[in-house]
Amino acid sequence: MPRTQDDAALLRDWAGGSQGAGEVLFKRYVQRLARFFRAKGFVDIDDLVQTTFLSCLEGRARLQEHSSFHVFLFAIARHKALDALRARYQRHRDFDPLERSVADLEPSPSQLVIADLQRQQLHQELRRLPVDLQIAVELHYWEGLSGSELAEALDLPLGTVKTRLRRAKQEVERALQRMQPTN
């Protein structure tokens, strides 16, 4: 679903008491948020989506710091995902979302039911990326954030974002090449 300019207005209306405005925003973004959290192996997706929207509403004053509601929402979702991963894996005191992947923390192949084998392999390789690389790839390719929007959502310089995207792409390509059958 394409982003629209009225998302920020809907957030203001929702904060002002319009339940209908909140429902419109929820319908626009619930599937995207669910996909975002599912890709990290979460099973409590509904709770994460709800807390993301709640934080969005509570932090609406910070919306003006972002170029769009879309960027603002996924910046919050990223923080919720990282907080949940840190809480889930407290025994991994050295949790670094740029170095650790969901697969490192808790492999869950039973959650990866995908009809097409190639899509399953790609999905697996994305999950093996360090969490911050995975998030960058998802927000760029699935959510359509531009490089500058991604830099804003991740609170990083544009050059760093470009480097992370390039690194993630190279890692996935190498992994998929290793999976190719040899003749």
Could you write out the DSSP letters of every residue in 29-47?
Answer: HHHHHHHHHHTTT-S-HHH
Calpha distance 141→39 (Å, rounded): 14
Q: Give mean pLDDT in consecutive 10-residue pieces for the chain, a chain of 183 residues.
A: 66 86 91 92 88 89 80 93 83 72 58 48 79 88 88 91 89 74 55
pLDDT score at 180: 62
| Rg, the chain, Cα only | 17
Burial class (CB in 10 A: 0-12, 13-18, 19+), 135: buried
Q: How high is the pLDDT of residue 104?
A: 67
Task: List the domain boundaries for the chain.
Answer: 7-179
Rounded Cα–Cα distance for residues 160 and 46 (Å): 32
What is residue 178's predicted lDDT score, i.e. its pLDDT? 73
**Residues in contact with 121: Cβ distance below 8 Å, sequence separation at least 6, in sequence order:** 176, 179
> Distance from CA of residue 168 to its chain's centroid?
14
**Out of 3.90.1010.10, 3.20.20.70, 1.10.10.10, 3.90.180.10, which CATH number does the structure's domain 7-179 have?**
1.10.10.10
Residue 42: its pLDDT value, please? Answer: 86
Q: Give the chain's largest Cα–Cα span.
A: 64
Q: Are the beta carbons of 7 and 13 closer than 8 angstroms? A: no
Q: How crowded is the C-beta side of 120, counted as CA atoms within 13 Å?
A: 11
The CA distance from 127 to 111, in Å, is: 12
